[in-house]
Amino acid sequence: MVKEIERAGFPVVHMCTVVPISLTVGANRIIPTVAIPYPLGNPAMNLTDEKELRRKLVKKALKALETPITEQTVF
Amino acid sequence: MGIKIVHYINQFYGGIGGEDKADYAPEKISGVKGPGMGLQAAFGDKATISSTIICGDSYFNENIDVATGLILEMIKEDKPDVFVAGPAFNAGRYGVACGAVCKAVSENLNIPVVTGMYIENPGADMYKKDAYMIETANSAAGMKDALAKIAALALKFGEGQAIGTPESEGYMPRGVRRNIFCEDRGAKRAVDMLIQKLKGEEIITEYPMPVFDRVEPAKPVVDVRKAKIAIVSSGGPVPKGNPDHIEASSASKFGKYSIAGIDDLNPENGQTAHGGYDPVYANQDLDRVIPVDILREMEKNGEIGSLHDFYYSTVGNGTSVNNSKKFAAEIAKDLIDSNVDAVILTST
């Protein structure tokens, strides 16, 4: 899906936990995330910390979308 | 004495039954059954199918080691010259079974093996290096053509003839290179090829490059503070109740869901439809799969231009590459129509 959407011209940032799969399918901008059932959270944290964690990951993703790249990059 | 063949087929072609009989354990019968009749006809009097082994597709795939062991024993008793499996067309479990049995026969019994299946059958990528695999149509409509090619190749093995190239015999390339003597030296062949190319004629390379389906990285967004960001996910996020009934695995569709006016996802407005992972955490707080809460805050603070008022979602669990491509192409069209600038895609 990442590849097909990028093929249409959009920069796509793939936020996922299993980075090797993302590399194999051909995502170009990759943000490693927390865990398979909760990529953008962590139920072990309190709500404030969990939100802060998510904010950091999203910020990183936005930064990746602004970054010029020439090859697959894990941010 | 003619060439002796043992043939492997699944429970469906063996006339045992459909999906309800997929757990059928391996059975050997003497003579031909189902597609074996066409295969025997294609052999004429040059080869004889001594036995047919029938096995349920689920039985095989759930008990690969046991099933392979049983089947090997059955084949060994016949001492065949060539082993044939399938053709499996686009039946995934059947294709995997044909490939796995062929590999085991080739490695353990040292008997030539021939099978056939559709190029997208998962068994093809898994086993095309281990067996001579005729490329078939994707359904049994291509049976006649498939059997003719399988029979021709099996006869060549049985008669000890040299096997030709993948193109001439119809099997999938196995990645094997063989040294051959050519009339002309390499430099002349290269120049000849160049001249042909300059003339606009078709050239056949002597060394095809592997195909990597890669997409060039798209240009970055200049300033996310002005960009419209959309969320897409293969983690199965859906509104509470999964209104489109997106399947927990092997999804046949994607959903487009409004988040207009939603600043935070919670157990009342979101859940996951995804099977294969523990859904508890996503169902408690779907922001853990798609970060709507953070992106809404960033939208208010001016950290992003805007968040697209819809998210797009499917379930990645066991979903075919073809379906995923199709969904994404439709999603991309919608993103273009909605003037989206960049995409955050999350996967579980």
Note whether B346 contacts A68, CB cutoff 8 Å: no
Contact call for A62 and B303, based on CB within 8 A: yes
Phi-psi region of B125 (alpha: psi -120 to 50; beta: other; left: phi over 0): alpha
* pLDDT score at B212: 65
Q: What is the pLDDT of residue B206?
A: 82
Closest residue in B to A68 (Cα) is: B220
Closest CA–CA distance from residue A45 to any residue of chain B (Å): 12
Looking at the structure of chain A, the number of domains it has is 1
What is the residue range of A53's domain? 2-74
Identify the CATH class of B3-169: alpha beta
Burial readout B290-322 (b: 16 or more C-beta within 10 A, e: otherwise): bbbbbbbbbbeeebbbbbbebbbbbbbbebeee
Per-residue pLDDT, B210? 64
ipTM, two decimals, is 0.96
Domain with CATH 3.40.50.2000 in chain B: 3-169
Report CB contact under 8 Å: B224, A62: yes
Chain A residues close to B236, C-beta within 8 Å: none
Contacts of A1 in chain B (CB under 8 A): 232, 234, 314, 324-325, 327-328, 331, 345
pLDDT, chain B, mean: 93
Low-confidence stretches of chain B (pLDDT beneath 50): none
> How close A19 comes to chain B (CA, Å)?
10
At B26, the amino acid letter reads: P
- B94: closest CA among B70, B59, B66? B59
Q: Which helix (H) or strand (E) holds B131?
A: none
> CA separation (Å) from B330 to B25, B40, B150, B254?
43, 47, 39, 9
Burial class (CB in 10 A: 0-12, 13-18, 19+), B36: buried
Best CA proximity match to B99, nearest among B73, B144, B61, B70: B61
Q: Which of A10, A54, A73 sits opposite B340 (nearest CB)?
A: A10
